[in-house]
Structure 1
């Protein structure tokens, strides 16, 4: 996926001096080094009104110095049209994932599936997410400051907007991911808004992610994200379920 950014290095330098996502990178890495944590809530809408889906999620993340998001506990409800929501929960610790879902069928007495190194559940550095330094670096050059008096998590925020084109976009259980190289399908674009607190840590992130059509019979697909972050540094505990309740996923 060839990244189609057009901003020169001077644009990146301008973003670095003005605050923007570039300063959020340093702030995030400071939280990673402290093995800090954050709470979040997220709405994800996908598709046209006739076939739209909505995923409502909330949870918590813990960080590690080198990996960023090291552990997570996320509860979701997935809805399509007028159907009843399907609940799920994913606990990730390192490369181990434990899942519960209304779609899963488990043996009697078991409540969790265990997955090891399952890419769809694991956090990665190519996610479209304000907690991802690689993504923040990607969008920094095109960031524009927008006047605002918005408050989130009890603090005044600074808002930055922009759009970036990428070579390809896809989705996993953990979120929407991008690649800077073109793969087997056409790429897309991410139109984003980011609100940073006075400590340069994210408090809100919005994105409109458009998958370009990859064939004559295809149409563009759109995903809209709205994420709120709060409680930076709040002590959280993320633990694996009791072994007696876990079965190895097939």
Structure 2
């Protein structure tokens, strides 16, 4: 066999092997990303078992396309409980649509919620309104949130590890990106929730980025939610949220306000 023919055949063989192994390597990287989110779920549940806590800050932009209609700035702290997840929280928010911001604070302890804000009609001598088992205020396991193991499980199959490495909360992080389609979407005071298609609520897609620390716990979570239009004349609604987490395991105290300052929300 001539030397030139041998080199041509060798080059062709190497090219074929490259094509064969490229999908395999891609699949391996994808599997590693899936495993990393599985480790994040385990790490998060470990914090629940330890009854740990975390501080957070969040900005939410709600609008149509690039036009921002409303901005919500929130910060606070969560305390966990085994199997339950977020058991108690103390959150302060400022909601703005271009006019004077509306301030709001909510303390949840178990299934009891205590709220106060510039909009609240609180009786004289009281500072808080109490509600029990009010779904709109309470944390639940169908929220679009990096502290929700069920949501992390949902997005894990499409997770892709990136080369981006940033520092948050004083530690190096690894970023994972992905996109997931949702059958139905909605919102309440506790956050954006998701579920299967139900014929009543519109669905959409969630483009997400998640930064995990060396302990596999979330340090930053960024989402863009594009809802399906309600009709042919309706623009799509876009919600963009950026959340930072810090101080994992720092002891926090979250308690109900003094009873003499609380009124019942009839």
The reply to whether TM is greater than 0.5 is yes
Structure 1 counterpart of 2:122, from 96, 101, 106 = 106
Are the aligned partners of 1:16 and 1:23 in contact in 2 as well (CA < 8 Å)?
no
Are the aligned partners of 2:207 and 2:223 in contact in 1 as well (CA < 8 Å)?
yes
Deviations 1:170-194 (A, max 9, x none): 0000100110233313310100000
Gaps of 5+ in 1: 1-10
Structure 2 counterpart of 1:145, from 144, 161, 170 = 161
In 1, Cα distance between equivalents of 2:144 and 2:81: 19
Partner of residue 80, structure 1: 97
Question: Of Structure 1 and Structure 2, which has the larger fraction of its residues in helix?
Answer: 2
Does 2:62 match 1:46?
Answer: yes
Does 2:160 match 1:157?
Answer: no
Partner of residue 183, structure 2: 167
- SS of corresponding position for 1:52: strand
- SS of corresponding position for 1:109: coil
CA RMSD of aligned residues (A): 1.7
Are the aligned partners of 1:208 and 1:223 in contact in 2 as well (CA < 8 Å)?
yes
In 2, Cα distance between equivalents of 1:15 and 1:52: 39
Does 2:73 match 1:26?
Answer: no
Deviations 1:131-163 (A, max 9, x none): 000000000000000112200000000100000
Structure 2 counterpart of 1:177, from 170, 187, 193 = 193
Gaps of 5+ in 2: 1-26
- SS of corresponding position for 1:135: helix
In 2, Cα distance between equivalents of 1:208 and 1:177: 14
